[in-house]
A = this chain, B = another copy of it.
Amino acid sequence: MKALEQRIIEAGKVLGPTVLKVDSFLNHQIDPQLMYEMGKEFSYLFREEKITKILTIESSGIAPAVMAGLQMNVPVIFARKRKSLTLTDNLLTAHVYSFTKKETNEISVSGSFLNHDDSILIIDDFLANGEAALALAKIVEDAGASVAGIGIVIEKAFQNGGKKLREKGFKVESLARISSLENGQVEFLSNELEETIQ
């Protein structure tokens, strides 16, 4: 998605060979218009699937997921990383190991909102090692529902998550696929827009 690649080049900050900071438009400050365009793109990319619900994970997945839900006219559920006082019954859980933070978090979703006949689109902001997407897919499958696809805002294609998910047979669509962050430069897989950012 050109507008997203352009924004990554203009506003992303490469903090290391695997770390891209995009907190000026996605992870901390959010650009609602860009999210809206991303929602349209997700809706287009998964137009062949009969999506009944979207599942994401707090917090940075929520904005793109809600915009996709708006376009596709389906509810959005966000998995919680922290326990909720009022979210206690019928919990589906999974563990997510974060390679960056070197810690394992339990995420949870109320089983009340996932049905056997649901066809779920998983949406997340980043795809690196695939841990979060796999945990969300496990929750969907534990509920007896099916994963219709996985939509990612930014895929770090030089890490193995995308390969892992595609090998498992999931339809994965990423709005931007980064092939390298070496030397402080962002390069995209598309090869159409390889430029340097600071």
Residues of B within 8 A of A85 (CB): 100-101
Contact present for B86 and A15 (CB under 8 Å)? yes
| Residues in A24-46 with C-beta less than 8 Å from chain B | 24-25, 27-33, 35-36
Tell me, rounded to whole Å, the shortest Cβ–Cβ distance linking A183 to chain B.
Answer: 19
| Residues in A58-89 with C-beta less than 8 Å from chain B | 58-59, 62-63, 66-67, 69-70, 73-78, 80-82, 84-87
In the complex, 5 of the A-B residue pairs with CB atoms within 8 angstroms, ordered by the A residue number, are A19-B86, A27-B86, A27-B87, A62-B63, A85-B101
Contact present for A66 and B67 (CB under 8 Å)? yes
Distance A58 CA – B58 CA, assembled complex (angstroms):
8
Residues of B within 8 A of A32 (CB): 66-67, 69-70, 73-76
Distance A74 CA – B34 CA, assembled complex (angstroms):
11
Residues of B within 8 A of A185 (CB): none
| Residues in A1-53 with C-beta less than 8 Å from chain B | 15, 19, 21, 23-25, 27-33, 35-36
Contact present for B66 and A35 (CB under 8 Å)? yes
Distance A27 CA – B59 CA, assembled complex (angstroms):
12
Residues of B within 8 A of A74 (CB): 32
Tell me, rounded to whole Å, the shortest Cβ–Cβ distance linking A18 to chain B.
Answer: 11
Q: Does A159 contact B (CB under 8 A)?
A: no
Contact present for A30 and B87 (CB under 8 Å)? no
Contact present for A28 and B70 (CB under 8 Å)? no
Q: Does A110 contact B (CB under 8 A)?
A: yes
Residues of B within 8 A of A28 (CB): 77-78, 80, 84, 87, 109-110, 113
Residues of B within 8 A of A75 (CB): 25, 29-32
Tell me, rounded to whole Å, the shortest Cβ–Cβ distance linking A57 to chain B.
Answer: 10
Residues of B within 8 A of A30 (CB): 62, 66, 69, 75-78
Residues of B within 8 A of A81 (CB): 82
Contact present for B113 and A33 (CB under 8 Å)? no
